[in-house]
Chain A
Amino acid sequence: MSALPLRPPRRRTLAQRDARTGIALMSPTLIIVLAVVVVPLLWSILIAFQQLKLLEIGTANPFRSLTLANFERVFASGGLWASLGTTLIYTAGSVLLSIGIGLLAAMAVRRPFRGRNFVRAAFLLPYVAPVVAVTFVWRTMLNPQFGIVNEVGQSTFGWADPIPFLSEAQRTVEFLGAQFPIPTALLTAIAFEGWRYFPFAFLFLMARLEALSAESEEAALVDGASPLQTFRYIILPQLMPVIALLAVLRTIWTFNEFDDIFLLTGGAAGTGVASVRVYEFLTVQRNVGAAAAQSLVLAVVLVLMLAVYLYLMRRRGERL
């Protein structure tokens, strides 16, 4: 495949032959990614500027006239900003929570103890298990009629009524005499994200912790630093690059998360994030153009975040 040049007079160097082989080996992957990722993406941009209903997609001419109507529709009625706002709170809360728990977990299992492997494995469960199964278990556990959380809450913690965790948009909580509005369902969804994705942060942070050299910590100990000071001034700074990377990755993925919210609440009760809106444009309003326009808005935000990610990678000296 590689060694037979068509014209005999010049023998190719190894580097040249390698380059040809490289392209040959690369092509199938490249073709698939171009065909099923890049081309559809470009087409999606086109659709966002066309009037296209769900019923017409089998027959419509791909190059029909262009219009801005979809964007007017997407931006109109404040729905976009409300959903982007919800998405932002949901993303920020989920990312902070998952990385925070992941850091706690990684520090807790850092030193060896009996059963460490079991604990590690158990911590990975939420991330590995199928999303449909875990959301269903959460929904059942939080169910106001027979869910175990409300049952225990009422019998043990003296809740007056069951809390509809996933169907209540807001409740008022009294604390120290003041009243605070709490977005119940959104907070529950954030808690779910923290639960489901802390193993991801946990994995990365553990890998980094294992690679830290013991010397600087020993030096800090000799200098009289307390354990918390050692963590604050020696360990945490060395973890910061990984935490930044995790924050960007998790932000990118959470911002566009669809499955979790859709399966938990269906986007109801104040959890209508932007990706659920894309789905609703497509299936409820049957307006493919508007769905594409909404997803394009998401994609633009995403590209901005990707740029940050690539910048961080470059700064770490990662090979691209």
Chain B
Amino acid sequence: MSAPTTPGTQTSSVPAPRPPEVQRVRGSRRHEIERRSLRILRWVVIIGLLIVTLLPFYYMVLLSLRPIEALLRNPSSLIIPPAEFTLSSYQQVLTSTAAGGQGFGRFIANSALVAVSAVIISLIVAVPGAYAIARLPFFGHRQVNALFLAAYLFPAIVMAIPLFVLFTRVGLRGSLVGLVLVYIAQTVPVAIYMLRNYLDTVPVAVEEAGLVDGLTRIGVLRRISLPLVMPSIMATGLFIFMIAWNEFLFALLFLVERRESWTVSLGLSQLSGSAEIPTTVLMAGSVVLTLPILILFFSTERLLTGGLTAGAEKG
């Protein structure tokens, strides 16, 4: 354990409880006990939480690489004997239904198409909007801002019924276009919120210098502010991608009847109810669903978490 040592005397053996008057003295017995137990407790917490967070993901990968017979024979094994190692689950989950697989290749294409479209359109819409909210004092500014915050906090299940009816009526239910539209509406408010925090970090003086030099507001946005916050815009885009890729409820409501349009999330949830498909194959599907998100997230982690919690430092 390499915990940094805290100042204080190092006393050995576990001491008995001390009378209260001693407690006020710095480095007293009580402090020492607390310090030591906290140091141990800290590692207990860290290791315990590491196991709890990592084990399910390890288990996911593990099962996807073992044949189902081996799993049923020895369910509690946490290692893969080399003889059992197989990639056949991945092969089966990815090949198309026509070729006897589960067709996740198609689902991946659907998910990617929906998520990428949502990212592009959301950003095109949200970047100017966020700039307006961050910098321009237009009429109704506060109300619009409150509206977006409310839309961001409003949960999907409440929106699901009316959107279901609306999209059925206009004939967009069952199409990926309809899904993209819903994802845009779901992600624009949070994108605005994040982008606003980023755009706030651009010094006003820099923008004013641009204005003085004869740029219009649009020019300032395009030539000065956007280049400065470009990495943050990328991060916001990735965050939108994650929301769209992970989304389940609307995919279920809109697309469940059309297997060729399923996203990966929907496909996995639908197929995991069926008894014919081995769990190991579905685990391979879970890995396929999870991996892109983890790669994206951890390549941009710092930026993302900074944008989400901006303002929390203020207390």
**A26 within 8 Å of B (CB atoms):** yes
User: Chain A residues with Cβ under 8 A from B156's Cβ?
Assistant: 256, 258
Residue in contact with B158 in the complex, picked from A26, A282, A295, A320, CB distance below 8 Å: A295
- B248→A282 contact, CB < 8 A: no
**B282 within 8 Å of A (CB atoms):** yes
- A19→B49 contact, CB < 8 A: no
On chain B, the number of residues with a Cβ less than 8 Å from chain A's Cβ atoms is 113
**A312 within 8 Å of B (CB atoms):** no
Interface locus among A77-85, A116-124, A172-180, A181-189: A116-124
A37 to B188, CA, bound (A): 11
Chain B min CB distance to A55 (Å)? 11
- A57→B217 contact, CB < 8 A: no
User: Chain B residues with Cβ under 8 A from A105's Cβ?
Assistant: 45, 49
A221 to B246, CA, bound (A): 46
On chain A, the number of residues with a Cβ less than 8 Å from chain B's Cβ atoms is 111
**A234 within 8 Å of B (CB atoms):** no
Chain B min CB distance to A53 (Å)? 11
Residue in contact with A288 in the complex, picked from B2, B57, B78, B165, CB distance below 8 Å: B165
Identify whether the interface residues of A are mostly helix, strand, loop, or mixed: helix
Chain B min CB distance to A121 (Å)? 6
**B205 within 8 Å of A (CB atoms):** no
Question: Chain A 28-41, CB within 8 Å of chain B: the 1/0 string?
Answer: 11101101111011
Chain A min CB distance to B239 (Å)? 10
Chain A min CB distance to B287 (Å)? 8
**B16 within 8 Å of A (CB atoms):** no
**A63 within 8 Å of B (CB atoms):** no
A287 to B305, CA, bound (A): 41
- A19→B158 contact, CB < 8 A: no
Question: Chain A 108-140, CB within 8 Å of chain B: the 1/0 string?
Answer: 110111100001011111101111111011111
- B157→A279 contact, CB < 8 A: yes
A155 to B77, CA, bound (A): 12
Contact flag A122-B54 (CB < 8 Å), given A26-B144, A128-B297 = yes
- A133→B53 contact, CB < 8 A: no
Chain B min CB distance to A232 (Å)? 11
**B96 within 8 Å of A (CB atoms):** no
Interface centre among B137, B157, B315 (most CB of A within 10 A): B157
- B312→A282 contact, CB < 8 A: no
**A203 within 8 Å of B (CB atoms):** yes
User: Chain A residues with Cβ under 8 A from B2's Cβ?
Assistant: 113-114
User: Chain B residues with Cβ under 8 A from A124's Cβ?
Assistant: 297, 301, 305
**A195 within 8 Å of B (CB atoms):** yes
**A148 within 8 Å of B (CB atoms):** yes
**B203 within 8 Å of A (CB atoms):** no
Interface locus among B28-36, B86-94, B97-105, B227-235: B28-36
Chain B 1-59 interface residues, beta-carbon cutoff 8 Å to A? 2-4, 6, 23-26, 28, 30-31, 34-35, 38, 42, 45-46, 49-50, 52-54, 56-57, 59
Contact flag A113-B248 (CB < 8 Å), given A25-B128, A132-B268, A133-B286 = no
**B159 within 8 Å of A (CB atoms):** yes
Chain B min CB distance to A49 (Å)? 13
Residue in contact with B153 in the complex, picked from A17, A136, A141, A252, CB distance below 8 Å: A252
- B136→A25 contact, CB < 8 A: yes
Contact flag A1-B34 (CB < 8 Å), given A129-B293, A146-B75, A148-B59 = no
Contact flag A26-B157 (CB < 8 Å), given A19-B138, A126-B53, A132-B268 = no
Interface centre among A1, A40, A126, A249 (most CB of B within 10 A): A40
Chain A min CB distance to B148 (Å)? 7
- A133→B217 contact, CB < 8 A: no
- A29→B137 contact, CB < 8 A: no
Interface centre among A38, A227, A257, A278 (most CB of B within 10 A): A227
In the A-B complex, list the 9 residue pairs whose CB atoms are closest, starting with the nearest. A22-B136, A22-B138, A256-B155, A36-B185, A40-B162, A29-B129, A211-B313, A25-B128, A44-B162
A-B contact pairs, 20 of them (CB 8 A): A25-B221, A30-B147, A33-B147, A33-B151, A35-B185, A44-B161, A107-B45, A111-B4, A114-B2, A146-B72, A195-B53, A203-B308, A211-B314, A226-B34, A228-B34, A278-B157, A279-B160, A306-B153, A316-B315, A318-B311
